[in-house]
Amino acid sequence: MPIYEYMCGKCKVTFQFLVRNVVTHEVPTCPRCGGRDMRRAMSRFATPKGEERRMDDLSDPSNLPDVDSEDPRAMARWMRKMSEETGESMGPEFDEVLQRLERGEDPEKIEEEMGDLLEDGSDGGGLGGGGGYDSTLYEG
């Protein structure tokens, strides 16, 4: 029986669902907010490195020689690497920020336009604490 992951378009949390029959499977309702805007997400996968070693590698400046805080493209490469190494989906807002940085847009302009999405995220949205990953296995 496969496990499918879905991200809620409203609360930006990714959930796991055990699918007993793929033929009759229907898109689930969000377990947190009850929303129906659930989108199939790319499943996380295991990596051979332990969590501590991954974090050590990420914090080692020699692994990121091209990071220049004045270069939006370099910042995007570093952010993408961080996201891939941690295996955490940061949500569509994060993806939009990365795409804009990769096009060379000014980070200050992006922050000005998307500031409310990049803040603490106490309402469940944004990059700074909103969204996330619920590791509970739900019936799908």
Residue 9 forms part of a structural domain:
yes
Integer CA distances (angstroms), 11 to 52, 69, 72, 93, in order: 29, 31, 28, 12
Residue 53 forms part of a structural domain:
no
Residue 48 forms part of a structural domain:
no
Which domain does 76 fall in, by range?
3-42+66-139
Q: What is the value of pTM for the model shown?
A: 0.44
Residue 49 forms part of a structural domain:
no
User: What element of type H or E holds 75?
Assistant: helix 72-86
Residue 59 forms part of a structural domain:
no
Residue 50 forms part of a structural domain:
no
pLDDT in tens, the chain (140 residues): 788 899 898 888 889 999 999 899 999 999 999 999 999 887 655 445 566 666 666 666 666 555 666 788 888 887 777 777 666 666 778 888 888 888 998 888 888 887 655 544 433 344 444 567 888 999 98
Residue 90 forms part of a structural domain:
yes
End-to-end Cα separation, the chain, in angstroms? 11
Angle 107-118/92-102 helices, nearest 10 degrees?
180
Residue 34 forms part of a structural domain:
yes
What is the phi/psi pair of residue 78, to 5°?
Answer: -65, -45
